[in-house]
Amino acid sequence: MIEELSSGNSLIQRLDPRVKIVLVFLFSVVVAVSNRLPVLMWALVLALLIVFTARVPAKELLRRLIPVNMLIVFLWLFLPFTFAGKPLFYMGSLPVTREGVLYATQISIKSNAMMLMLIALVATTPIFTLGHAMHELGIPKKIVHLFFFTFRYIHVMHREYVRLLNSMKIRGFRPKNNLHTYRSFAYMVGMLLVRSFDRAQRVYNAMLCRGYKGNLYSLSKFSLKGRDVISIVLMVAVIIILGVLEWKKTN
Amino acid sequence: MEKNELIINLEDITFSYPGGAPVLDKLNFKLHRGNRIGLMGPNGSGKTTLVHIVMGLLKPSAGRIEIFEKPAVTEKDFRKVRGKIGLLFQDADDQLFSPTVLEDVAFGPLNLGKSQDEAMDIARNTLKFLGLDGFEDRITYKLSGGEKKLVSLATILAMEPEVLLLDEPISGLDDKTKATLKNVLLDLDLSYILISHEIDFLAEITDSIYTMENGEILIDQEIHVHQHVHAHPHGVYAHKHK
Amino acid sequence: MEKNELIINLEDITFSYPGGAPVLDKLNFKLHRGNRIGLMGPNGSGKTTLVHIVMGLLKPSAGRIEIFEKPAVTEKDFRKVRGKIGLLFQDADDQLFSPTVLEDVAFGPLNLGKSQDEAMDIARNTLKFLGLDGFEDRITYKLSGGEKKLVSLATILAMEPEVLLLDEPISGLDDKTKATLKNVLLDLDLSYILISHEIDFLAEITDSIYTMENGEILIDQEIHVHQHVHAHPHGVYAHKHK
Amino acid sequence: MHISEGVLSPAVLIGGAAIAAAGVAAGLKDIDQKEIPSMGILSAAFFVASLIHVPVGPVSVHLILNGLVGLILGWKAFPAILVGTALHALLFQFGGITTLGVNTLNMALPAVICYYLFGWGLKSGSGRSVFIFAAFASGCCAVLISSIMVGFSLYLTGEAFLPAAKLVVAAHLPVMFIEGSLTAACTLFLRKVRPELLEGVYAPK
Ligand SMILES: Nc1ncnc2c1ncn2[C@@H]1O[C@H](COP(=O)(O)OP(=O)(O)OP(=O)(O)O)[C@@H](O)[C@H]1O
Ligand SMILES: Nc1ncnc2c1ncn2[C@@H]1O[C@H](COP(=O)(O)OP(=O)(O)OP(=O)(O)O)[C@@H](O)[C@H]1O
Ligand SMILES: [Mg+2]
Ligand SMILES: [Mg+2]
């Protein structure tokens, strides 16, 4: 269930993860503040291109786009009616405004462009590598370490959760709308917490035994290569063009 | 009920975890009423996987499962199965999640539709049967390893199963708890499958020992009894010799 | 270094967990260089607690600890101790926390101040020594139970300890992995304390077996080797008889 | 309750990120380097707990549990929830990079508020009914405040979002009661089994 997307061997896979993080961040910020449809369309095209280069399996891609688009469908139910503007046509007595439809369209394109970019990032970089790269980029050590331990133990905790759930199942448990169900789930969460609390102590002890003094070391070294520089220049140029297009027309 | 009723019948079961090689590969297995089968096999050979498939906790990618001579396919089929077959998990920590022993043992009967009072009664009686009187209000989480195993067994017996699947019930247990467990199993007169790495233990309380290898079960194991050199500390643990 | 150097010396150690009865009660224990001691005892008798006290992970409420003939009291003393004594935890899941096997094994040497490259070399060699070549990039939490135990041992051996404390290293392991572990221990020629419930195993690779009971260690255990009736499946597991 | 990328206005995104950053900084100050492994494991447990689906009427919802997080962690809820939110984005693409700040703030601030409002009721001295009330209220209010903050983030982006924002809050009303009962039962469990967890081992001294 909690599986990383990463693997494969695409061109983007081999880029320096720091470069990827910075570029995805810049891209997301520019798209988030943009409002013009042509700019957004180009951003979407760019994102599609990159996801394509990253060779994300189509099935995975669609599966991961579903949650974003659920919220967007929800917004489409409102925005065309509630956004003030010129009525395009009427649904019953409710006017559907031009501006509302435009606004909802903008949001749909923005969301999907940014999500595609994020998917391209996680599909080409293992999460642990992202952590090390974030540290290199100046994110405080405490946060990065917290991130590492959380991610590492999500799997252990998830297994413990599945086992507890199985233990409930084999004893005939079926979730229903009743107090017994809620209490059983509450006990399970409690047990999960208590066990994680103990495990935390034991793991810390195991680390002490191996000389832990508050440092985690990365075995992967990052270095900027030619292709990294080229992709930075290219992407930054494209992002600047997007930004300029947006800025020129709004002024 | 005839003695030779076929309780568990697995035919050509194939299973693999996501992204892994097949753990079970066209496996066949039969358990008749009254059978007491020991199951051995190297770490990672799929013993735990096998019993989880019987309980419907994992779904095989191919093959047929028949339990009590009825095919078991959907979650609904397995829900019935779970009322009749009890599984003792490899790790007792996984089995107990309620704050107190009594609540945990009563959980199964409650799910089977018993009233609060009936469930409590059943739980108390089961604990007594296992020699765990006085454990009712103990905190499950603070029990020792051996006590956890016995309470886990109680949670299962409280559902009055007809068959037990016991996944390494004795690993990490001291000799005294092992002996208790052995006596309980001999008293119960149920059919069971017992997974263990300790062949001496299996030989004592099962009729036949099967071995798992390469995703299959090898049935034609003969058990040989023979002389063997052994070490024992003197005095502390009583020990019989022939 | 003299053969009979006193490595671990515990005197009148008393310990209890918050709100509990004493687990260790004026316990005395000595380990000399070259000793290979087996430690048995019922579940909950305090074996794990004892080795954690030696490593300074738990603080006794009374008593003296001397390690390598120097008193160990403060956290600083124990930090030195941990460079020389390796502890294999009862639960391998607690011991492995890095994403990949190589990173986990290299963690100890890195903490001891080795450079990146040295640490990698040590890690690779240790894995090779344990017959775990090719495991470098495996994900630690996806290993099987037996593999986790062996990798845990690798993480400790990579720190080149002089003494090993092994807390139930073989529980739940199959016969092949047990044999591997046994051979590794016999090859290593280190002093160690080995906790286990399996006396046959202890008898094979330790010189003396101690028993824990009532918070104390009983040392005057004689080990008796004698003829015994035994069962074995034929064929699958090769087996020597005398 | 994650808001997707591309919905909120830049002002809301920046404001949210700035306040969240301040909260995370305050939380980190309380965390000793030594505690990080334990914190991580606890965060992981909360992350996994939030994947549990419970039935509410005809549908099932996943748990949020930020009230419980607050009770146990106090200000440290901020870094814990930040990491959880980041992992939600990276693993499942719920939320994203630019919304990281707002989403963290919307979950973590109510956790801290509930810690200050109701944390006292969970200390060892308090009676059983006070204890249950405080835990229930904490679970309930955390979800309520979170849903209001999510609604408010939408509303600040544009008035056109008002009906959607109202619906978000309304949809969480039944969830509030489930969360309240679960938090109460769960803290009762902890009080019986491992009272230290509620007595500020993790929360600030
Ligand atoms: N949840 C899981 N996800 C992926 N692989 C798994 C999972 N559980 C088990 N495996 C793998 O499936 C194989 C069979 O595991 P299983 O637990 O059934 O073995 P086992 O025979 O019970 O071993 P043991 O004697 O160690 O208990 C192993 O290789 C194991 O690594
Ligand atoms: N963290 C803890 N808090 C409170 N009590 C504990 C804790 N750990 C262990 N105990 C208790 O201390 C006693 C000794 O436990 P310990 O783990 O040392 O026993 P053990 O001899 O290693 O047992 P086993 O053979 O089951 O591993 C037990 O009664 C146990 O319940
Ligand atoms: Mg198993
Ligand atoms: Mg122990």
| C-alpha C19 – ligand 4 centre gap (Å) | 19
For residue A216, tell me if it sits in a domain.
no
For residue A132, tell me if it sits in a domain.
no
Chain centre distance of CA D117: 14
With contact defined as beta carbons under 8 Å apart, do D165 and D152 qualify? yes
pLDDT value at B239 more than 50 = no
For residue A214, tell me if it sits in a domain.
no
Range B209-216 average pLDDT: 90
State phi, psi for C140 to the nearest 5 degrees. -60, -40
10 Å CB burial of residue C242 (0-12, 13-18, 19+) is: exposed
Same domain, A81 and A196: no
Same domain, A165 and A114: no
Name which of A198-212, B146-160, C184-198 the model is least confident about: A198-212
For residue A197, tell me if it sits in a domain.
yes
Distance CA C146, CA C171 (A): 10
Predicted-complex ipTM score: 0.85
> Is residue A15 classed as helix, strand or coil in its secondary structure?
coil
With contact defined as beta carbons under 8 Å apart, do B192 and B185 qualify? yes
* Residue whose C-alpha is closest to residue A135's, from A222, A61, A59, A213: A222
Cβ contacts of D132 within 8 Å, gap of 6 or more: D184, D188
Query: Quick check: D79 and A146 CB within 8 A?
Result: yes
Query: Quick check: D83 and A145 CB within 8 A?
Result: no
Q: Which residue of A has its CA nearest to B78?
A: A170
Q: What is the mean pLDDT of chain D?
A: 89
Same domain, A151 and A198: yes
What are B159-189's pLDDT values in tens digits? 999 999 999 998 888 888 899 899 999 988 8
Same domain, A153 and A242: no
Q: What is the pLDDT of residue B125?
A: 94
Distance CA B187, CA A221 (A): 62
C223-233 and C216-218: which strand pairing?
A: unpaired
Buried b (16+ CB within 10 A) or exposed e, B189-215: ebbbbbbbbbbebbbebbebbbbbeeb
pTM greater than 0.90 (yes/no)? no
> Is residue D7 classed as helix, strand or coil in its secondary structure?
coil
Q: What is the CATH number of domain D10-198?
A: 1.10.1760.20
For residue A130, tell me if it sits in a domain.
no
Ligand nearest the Cα of residue B44 is 1
Whether A208 has its CB under 8 Å from any CB of chain C: the answer is: yes
The band of B78, judged by pLDDT with boundaries at 50, 70 and 90, is: very high
| Backbone torsion region of residue B31, taken as left when φ is above 0, otherwise alpha when ψ lies between -120 and 50, otherwise beta | beta
Chain centre distance of CA A3: 13
Q: What range defines the domain where residue A104 resides?
A: 4-125+222-250
> Is residue A103 classed as helix, strand or coil in its secondary structure?
helix
Using the structure block, give the residue that is written with the tokens 């890690």.
C123
With contact defined as beta carbons under 8 Å apart, do B93 and B129 qualify? no
Q: Given CA atoms A122, A123, A127, A131 in this order, what sign does their dihedral have?
A: negative
Chain centre distance of CA A118: 6
For residue A134, tell me if it sits in a domain.
no
Whether A66 has its CB under 8 Å from any CB of chain D: the answer is: no
* Residue whose C-alpha is closest to residue C97's, from A156, B228, B25: A156
Which token pair is C60?
């006794």
State phi, psi for C193 to the nearest 5 degrees. -115, 130
Between D80 and A228, the higher pLDDT residue: D80
Total Cβ atoms within 10 A of residue B238: 8
What are C120-158's pLDDT values in tens digits? 999 999 999 998 988 988 888 888 888 899 999 999 999
Chain C interface test: which of B94, B147, B168, B171 (most C C-beta within 10 Å): B171
| Backbone torsion region of residue A22, taken as left when φ is above 0, otherwise alpha when ψ lies between -120 and 50, otherwise beta | alpha
Same domain, A120 and A240: yes
Name which of A206-220, B51-65, C63-77, D158-172 the model is least confident about: A206-220
| C-alpha B46 – ligand 3 centre gap (Å) | 7
- Structurally, how many domains does chain A consist of? 2
Whether A190 has its CB under 8 Å from any CB of chain B: the answer is: yes
Same domain, A229 and A110: yes
> Is residue B67 classed as helix, strand or coil in its secondary structure?
strand
Chains that touch C (3 or more CB pairs under 8 A): A, B
Same domain, A120 and A186: no
Same domain, A106 and A151: no
Whether A191 has its CB under 8 Å from any CB of chain B: the answer is: yes
pLDDT value at B240 more than 70 = no
Provide DSSP, C65-102: EEETTEE--SHHHHHHHHHHEEEE-SSHHHH--SSBHH
Q: Give the orientation angle of helix D66-73 with respect to helix D36-49, to 10 degrees.
A: 160
Same domain, A32 and A116: yes
State phi, psi for A75 to the nearest 5 degrees. -70, -35
Residue B19 beta carbon below 6 angstroms from any ligand 1 atom = no
State phi, psi for B137 to the nearest 5 degrees. -100, 10
Same domain, A173 and A232: no
Which token pair is A5?
């997307």
Chain centre distance of CA D138: 10
Same domain, A106 and A228: yes
Same domain, A155 and A234: no
